[in-house]
A = this chain, B = another copy of it.
Amino acid sequence: MERIEHRACFGGWQDVYRHRSEALRCDMNVGVYLPPQAAHGPCPALYWLSGLTCTEQNFITKAGAQRYAAEHGLILVAPDTSPRGDDVADAEGYDLGKGAGFYVNATQAPWAERYRMYDYIVDELPAWIEANFPATGARAISGHSMGGHGALTIALRNPGRYRSVSAFSPIVAPTQVPWGEKAFAAYLGDDREAWKQYDAVELVGSAKEKLPLLVDQGDADEFLETQLRPRLLEAACEAAGHPLTLRMQPGYDHSYYFISSFIGEHIAWHAAAMK
C-alpha cells in the first residue's frame, strides 16, 4: 500500500491510499479520513459508497463530512466505485463498466473476472482497514445513489456486520429501473432471479436483522421517479415490518449540495449507533 495524498483537515488527516485488491485483481484508491481522536486510540469507521461516475475523490472533496467525523471521532472510508486500470473491461456510457460497479459480484463475461465490488466492500476493504488503521471494528455504512443501493443491500445481507446503515437518494429497486436493469443484465445475465440478491426492496422482506434504515431523498431530484423510487422501499418496509425513516427533503436535488446539507445528521446517527 502507498499513501498518495496526505492533507491536514479539521485537526485530522484526509489521506488517499492505493492498495492491491485481490478481489478485484487491480490497484484501488481509497480515501481514508482519520479524525483527531485516531491519534490517541482506535475509532469506529463509516464506509461511504459513491454513485455512478464517481471515484474516491467526490465524497472527500465535496461532502464536507470531515467536520462531523472530527466532531464524533469517526474514521471515514471512501472507496472507488469499480475496478480500475487499462486492462479492466469497460463499456460506452457512464452507467456500465468503470465508475459503475454497482457493488455486485459479476458472473458474466467480460465482467466476472474483476467486477467483484460486493466482495471488495463486504470483506476485503474492512479487513484491510482494520489491519492498517486504528479502527475499533465497529462499522457503519452509507452511500449515494448507486452507492445508496450498495449500502442498503450490503447491510441487509450481512446481519451483525454493521451497527447502522443510511443512504442518500438510493436506487432502492434496481431490478425495476433502467440503471439497474442495464447493469444487472450485463453483470449478472438474463436470469432475473439472480438479480434479487442485489435489490433492497427484494431483500428487506427476508432480512435476518431489523437494522433501521435512514434514507434522505430530495423531492426535486431529477432521477426520483425514473431510477430511485423510494416509495417502493417504503411499501416493502411496511409490509415486512422493517424500520425505515424516509425523509423527503423539499427542494433538494441529486447533487453533493444535497449530501453536504444532511451528512452531518447521518454522521451523528452512525456515531450514536457505534458508541
Q: Are A67 and B260 in contact (CB under 8 A)?
A: yes
* Residue among A10, A257, A258 with the highest chain B CB neighbour number at 10 A: A257
Q: Give CA–CA (A58, B47) in the complex, Å.
A: 25
Interface residues of A, count at CB 8 A: 25
B residues less than 8 Å from A261 (CB atoms): 8-11, 66-67
Within 8 A of B (CB), among A41-68: 61-62, 64, 66-67
How many Å from the CB of A14 to the closest CB on chain B? Answer: 5
B residues less than 8 Å from A251 (CB atoms): 8
Q: Which residue of B8, B218, B220, B249 contacts A258 across the interface (Cβ within 8 Å)?
A: B8
Q: Give CA–CA (A9, B253) in the complex, Å.
A: 9
B residues less than 8 Å from A218 (CB atoms): 8
A245-260 vs B, CB cutoff 8 Å, 1 = contact: the mask equals 0000111110111101
Q: Which residue of B lies closest to A10 (CB)?
A: B261
Q: Give CA–CA (A260, B14) in the complex, Å.
A: 12
Q: Give CA–CA (A255, B5) in the complex, Å.
A: 11
Q: Which residue of B8, B220, B258 contacts A257 across the interface (Cβ within 8 Å)?
A: B8
Q: Give CA–CA (A261, B10) in the complex, Å.
A: 5
Within 8 A of B (CB), among A225-271: 249-253, 255-258, 260-261, 264
B residues less than 8 Å from A250 (CB atoms): 8
A7 within 8 A of B: yes
A62-79 vs B, CB cutoff 8 Å, 1 = contact: the mask equals 101011000000000000
Q: Are A7 and B257 in contact (CB under 8 A)?
A: yes
How many Å from the CB of A76 to the closest CB on chain B? Answer: 13
Instruction: Given A8-B218, A8-B252, A61-B61, verify A66-B258 contact (CB < 8 Å).
Output: no
Q: Which residue of B lies closest to A58 (CB)?
A: B61
B residues less than 8 Å from A264 (CB atoms): 67
How many Å from the CB of A215 to the closest CB on chain B? Answer: 17
- Can you list 21 A-B contacts with CB-CB less than 8 angstroms, sorted by A residue number? A7-B253, A8-B218, A8-B220, A8-B252, A8-B253, A8-B257, A8-B261, A9-B258, A9-B260, A9-B261, A10-B261, A11-B261, A14-B257, A61-B61, A61-B62, A64-B260, A66-B257, A66-B261, A67-B260, A67-B261, A67-B264
Residues of A within 8 A of B (CB): 7-11, 14, 61-62, 64, 66-67, 218, 220, 249-253, 255-258, 260-261, 264
